[in-house]
Structure 1
Amino acid sequence: MKTKLVILAFALLTNFGFSQQIITEDLTVVDSVSTTPQKLNIKEKSPLRASLYSAVLPGAGQLYNKKWIKAPIALGLVGTGIAFSSYYNGLQNKYRRAYIAELEGKPHEYSGVLNAEQLAVYQDEYKRNRDYTVALTILAYILNIVDATVDSHLFSIKNDPDFTFKPTVIQDQNSLQPVLGMNLNFKF
């Protein structure tokens, strides 16, 4: 338990690290070496705000980062997981009540159709399915938060003219046919 708390504290405290540049509220940068301010043309997104938005409502952090396609996907994944978990939980409880009634000799909706062993197998199967869907839903929820955080960290890099990454068509040297490739430009 202590290890989990230390890892969580470390992950949360890394957002408050310091660098050698000071960014003021009007988005001017003052280097610690030279005190000449430079104006930034890139708007920043807050990773902490994006994380909190996604933690409260899946997909809200993606909307904050202006990733319009990812927002309904994140909300749909988490919502579908919750719906399937609820569905399997209901079936597991239904077969559990029937199993207990069968052991006590009371009538139930599967009387004469399924015996106690078959009811136990169905109950275990739906419980396993519920547990898997809960685990996958938690994973989708965490990935939703991580995606929003990473997108907000990389928001300023997306529009950087010194760093481009785009598809290009190149000619294969062996067959002389056009082939799709990737072009990476990085200017200092």
Structure 2
Amino acid sequence: MNCKFFISLLFIFITFTTFAQKKNEKDPDTLQTGPFVEIKSKRPYDPLAPSRAAFYSAVLPGLGQIYNRSYWKLPLVYGGLGAAGYFYVTNNKEYHNYRDAFKRRRAGYTDDPYYDLNGDGEGPDVTNNGLENGQDYYQGNRDLSLLIFIGVYALQIIDANVDAHLKQFNINKDLTLNPYMEQSTFYGTPDVGLSLTLQF
């Protein structure tokens, strides 16, 4: 019996602390949680903010993150795009070098840079089959770099959209925690419970 009484008092105490939030009459966007503490609420809800952030990121990568004030994500966005772009350019250059050498080799020329790599006058150091394998290798890496670039570009657009949604999620005024007591239908004794109410 003492345990149920103690739990009831605990729930009543929690209820008083959760109902302590009230609006300040001077500033309707300010919550007063106690006699001395005031919490300024977030900016008002803007339903177009997520689509605006996604549009900004699509126009210029990282601009949606700046719009959301998530400046710490900019090095990640530009680092990912820069690394993918660098590897794309490097692999594309090597692919064309091997491709041009393979074409000249098939035409009967022996002046490509892969014919005599060590300069001993005996060649070819890289065979036609090796040039073809080099083309395939760098072409695969180039295509993978392009896919990673597109993936990072799309991911930063999605991130800006989701971040703009979550920045407006505010539960300060709509969260209530209420204790309740009800009569048990089986035993005829009072049951103590706790209800959590979210208002959207």
TM-score by length of 1: 0.62
Residues 1:144 and 2:148 aligned together: no
Secondary structure of 2:57's aligned partner: helix
Aligned to 1:110: 114
Cα pair 2:42 2:168 within 8 Å, conserved:
no
147, 155, 169: which one pairs with 1:135?
147
CA distance in 2, matches of 1:160, 1:65: 19
Offset at residue 44 of structure 1 (A): 3.9
Does the residue aligned with 2:71 lie in a helix, a strand or coil?
A: coil
Pair 64,41 (structure 1): closer, same or farther in 2 beyond 3 Å: closer
Aligned-residue CA RMSD (Å):
2.4
Whether 1:48 and 2:60 are equivalent positions in the alignment is: no
Larger relative CO (CA 8 A, sep 6+): 1 or 2? 2
Amino acid at match of 2:53: A
d(CA) in 2 for partners of 1:186 and 1:71?
38
Change (3 A) 1:69 1:103: same
Q: Distance in 2 between matches of 1:89 and 1:186?
A: 58
What TM-score, normalized by structure 2, do the two folds share?
Answer: 0.58
Q: Which runs of 4+ in 1 moved over 2 A?
A: 40-45, 185-188
Over alpha carbons, which structure has the higher Rg? 2
Query: How many equivalent residue pairs?
Result: 129
Structure 1 residue aligned with 2:61: 58
SS in 1 for 2:168: helix
Kindly indicate whether the alpha-carbon contact (under 8 Å) linking 1:59 and 1:73 is maintained by their aligned counterparts in 2. Answer: no
How big is the shift at 1:147?
Answer: 0.6
CA separation of 1:41/1:101 partners in 2, compared to 1, >3 Å: closer, same or farther?
A: closer
Q: Any unmatched runs of 5+ in structure 2?
A: 1-40, 116-123, 176-195
Task: State the one-letter code of the partner of 1:153.
Answer: H
What is the identity, as a one-letter code, of the residue corresponding to 1:116?
N
Which amino acid in the other structure matches residue 161 of structure 1?
A: N
Where in structure 2 are the equivalents of 1:61-140 lying within 5 Å? 61-106=64-109, 107-111=111-115, 112-140=124-152
Relative distance call for 1:186 and 1:42 in structure 2 (3 A) is farther
